Amino acid sequence: QILDTHGLQWLEGLRRVSYLEARDALRTLPGVGTKVADCVCLMCLDKPDAVPVDTHVWQIAQRDYKYAAEKGQKSLTEKVHRNIGDFFRKLWGPYAGWAHSVLFCADLKKFQSLKEMACFNQPKKEEEEEEKSRKTKIKRETDGHGINMKSENQKKAKMGVKEERTL
């Protein structure tokens, strides 16, 4: 039915129009609402500013970002959908749709255990070591054939091994 109505190149052609034009075109299809149209725009039509909004995303906006507009609103209307999308686009810029997707996935129950894993919560000492190694100065030394790069930590480690051998 879609092929008969729109032709073979119609969907591909939606990549070349603006996000809003593509979303509106998709919504002309039977059973396609704003959220599904936004999902297709984001994941299939190269529209990274498309933010698919549902009640779950609305809750994330209120809980984590103190989104207070439409606070008394009970249902997700077109206006609420548009305002939340605009809120996230203003917050995250042109790739708001992908930022939203990361948040959405991170909030799913099946990923909650990953948040609590020890490997994601580095001890303070490890963080300090990482910061120290990032700041390590690299000095250039020539070996006669080219340039050798050695950090201060590498020199100290080598010196430590020599000192240990002499003891």
Cα dihedral sign, 107-109-110-114: positive
What pTM value is reported for the model?
Answer: 0.62
Grouped pLDDT means (10 residues each) for the chain, 167 residues: 82 94 95 95 96 90 85 86 94 92 76 58 58 53 49 50 48
The length of the chain in residues reads 167
Residue 35 annotated among the catalytic residues of the structure? yes
Instruction: Check 35, 71, 79, 109 and give the catalytic one.
Output: 35
Using N-to-C axis directions, what is the helix angle for 34-44 and 78-92, rounded to 10°?
A: 30
CA separation for the pair 73, 53 (Å, rounded)? 15
| pLDDT > 70 fraction of the chain, expressed in percent and rounded | 65
Domains of the chain: 2-116 (1.10.1670.10), 122-166 (no CATH)
Within 10 A of 101 (CB to CB), how many other CB atoms are there? 18
User: How confident is the model over 124-152, as pLDDT tens digits?
Assistant: 556 566 666 655 544 444 445 554 555 45
Type of residue found at 16: R
